[in-house]
Each structure stands twice: as structure tokens, then as C-alpha cells.
Structure 1
Amino acid sequence: MNRVISIILGCLITGIGTLLLAHAHLVIGGTAGLSLSLSYLMGIPFSPTFFVINIPFYTFAVLRMGWNFTLATFAAVTLLSCITGGLEHWLFNGFAVAPWIGATLGGGLAGLGLAILFENRSSLGGANILALYLEQKYNWNPGYTNCVFDSIVVLSGVYAAGLLRGLYSVLAVIVISSVIGYCKSRSAKRAQILSTATEL
């Protein structure tokens, strides 16, 4: 039950952060960033676009991460799509956000939400799946892995957002990755302390 509550909380926080980024007209990495770019260019809603883009990544998740992780990721993606759709309609309709607020506050919330999902063996698909796989196999920090992939997506999405907002988008990626990396380090230290206490 605690895991379910944590995943819901992670999706809610990530959803608010993503909408702040979207209403600042910024681009982030991963499938969320790709979905935002498509929504800017094609004028289509973010929520269904985000849901559809993630479908191919579930095959990799099943093969490499198992059904438990895949189902949790599918639930998180579905939940985030519903949350962003609902918040967009009820709270963020016509709501404009300054780029620097979107990059810092939106990026910070998105990073925190993703960190909560990672901590509970869930993700939002796409590069998140690969980041967690590389963490399990090679002990790579998922924040750094996400930063590399996110930067590639952001650079490709500068055309959709414009140069200035593209620079703010890079700042958002740095904030997101820094928050994930910080939370991961804190979690690892906490686990080490608990392990040491148990041995004593």
C-alpha cells in the first residue's frame, strides 16, 4: 500500500512540474519532452500523446525489468496522463508561466516526482526505463543517465520552443537531473546507514 501511495504522490508531483514546464513553453527530455515538442508543433494535447509514445518502451521493460516494474510503469504513465489532463482542464487552463519559474520550480518538482517513482521501482517510460536498467546492471546514477538522454531530446526540441526557451529548457534538464541525483545519493546513504545499524 505504501508503494501505491508513493507512486500516486510521485505522479502528482511530476504532473504539476510537467504542466509548469509546458505552460512556460519549455522542453524537457525523455518521452515527456518529446510529447511536449509534438504538442507545440502539432497543437495536440500532451496527455494522450505522452501515453501513446510510451507504448513501444513497454516491450523493453518486460524483457529487461520484469512484469512487476512494467505494470508499475504502465500504471504511472496512465496515472500521469490522467493527472495532467485533469489539472490542465481545472487549474492550468490559460495559465501562463515565466520561463525561469518553469525551469526552476517546474524542473524541481518534476525531478522530485521522478525520484519518488524511481525509489519505488516505477518510472514514466522511455529513457527512465533505460536509466533504471543501467543503474541495476552497472550501478550508474539515474540522474546522470537521464541528463545525457534529456539533453539530446532538448537540443532536438529547440526548434519547437525557440532558442531562448531552449536555453531555459537546458536549465530545466539540469535541475531535474540534479534533484534525481541528490535524492538517489540520499537514498543510498540512508540504505547504508540502515545496513550498518542492522549489522551492529
Structure 2
Amino acid sequence: MTTARRDTYTPETLLSVAVRIFNERGYDGTSMEHLSQAAGISKSSIYHHVSGKEELLRRAVSRALDALYAILEEPGGRRGRAIARVEYVTRRTVEVLMAELPYVTLLLRVRGNTKTERWALERRREFDQRVSDLLKAAAEDGDLRADVDIRLATRLLFGMVNSLVEWYRPQPGGGPEEDQLAETVVRLAFDGLRTGAGGPHGA
């Protein structure tokens, strides 16, 4: 019976529980005892899978970061005019946020109090800088309005996308609103930033 119990409790299910508790209590406010109670297994069983809660944090934020950085390597994030690439990256970032909501939420809430948190913050800044560079390139191409400050536009774009973790909650089976969310974010942001009125998105 003990073996069967251990086999059914995987590192992935443990990570899922840990991320939920980290998001509810905050990473600093979570103890191994909290994780043990939430998972319904002993602390020694947790240590069988990981060295401690910081390893769980590292695995969780790595999952979010890997998904975000993968966007930059997709064809839509690498090819074409900068304006099309930054719209693509924005759209896919929203999609990743919806798909990996607990993990991205945790990433956006790390404070930098541990080595893992500082590493995650630095990686997140690097990703944000890559997107910012695309916006700057689009402006240099003449595809963004000259009367809009790019630094301000970048902050507003990140603010809009990142705020989704505070209110977005997936619905069972999805729905039309969920399917349209990423496209709506792109249109709200770039219809006001593009030179001229509108224009084909992702062209």
C-alpha cells in the first residue's frame, strides 16, 4: 500500500500543490509543514522528491520562464517586421499566461529575497527587455506612432498583460471570451500604437 501511494504521488503533482500554496500564502509565508498538510503526505515524503521548498520554487518559476522564452524562438517571434513580431509575442504571452496561470502568477510575485527569486527576477527582466527591444525596433521602422513615448508604451503593455493574473480565471471547457482574450489584448494595445488606423495584425 505504501509503495502504491508513493507511486501515485509524482513530483508534478507535488509541484502543483506547492505552487497553489505559494500563491495563497506567499513564498515566505509557506513552510514545509504547510506543504505537507496541503499535499497530504509527510515532510519526509516531500524530501524524497526535492531538497526543500526553494527547489520547488525554482522548478515552478522555471516552468513559466521556459514557456515565455520559447515564444521568442517560435517563427512568429523571430521572423518578419518588428511590429508583427512584437504583436505575435504579446499574443502568445497572453496565451502562455492563460495556460500556465498559477506558474506565471508565482513568477510575477517573487520578491528577490532568495537566490532563486533573484535569478527569476533577472530572467524576467531579460524577457521584458527583449520585448522592449522589439517595440523600439518597430518604432524605428516607422510602424509605431512617433508621438508616443516608447518607454511609457512598454510599461503600459506589460502592465496590461501582467494584470491578467489578478482577475483572469479559466472557465471549465473554455469559451469564446477566453479564445478571444489574447487577440483583444493585442488590438487594444496596438490599434492605438500603430501608425495609421488599424492595419492587418500579424501581417
Q: Under a length normalisation based on structure 2, what TM-score does the superposition of the two structures give? A: 0.32
Higher relative contact order (CA 8 A, sep 6+): 1
- The answer to which structure has the higher helix fraction is 1
Q: Which structure has the bigger radius of gyration?
A: 2
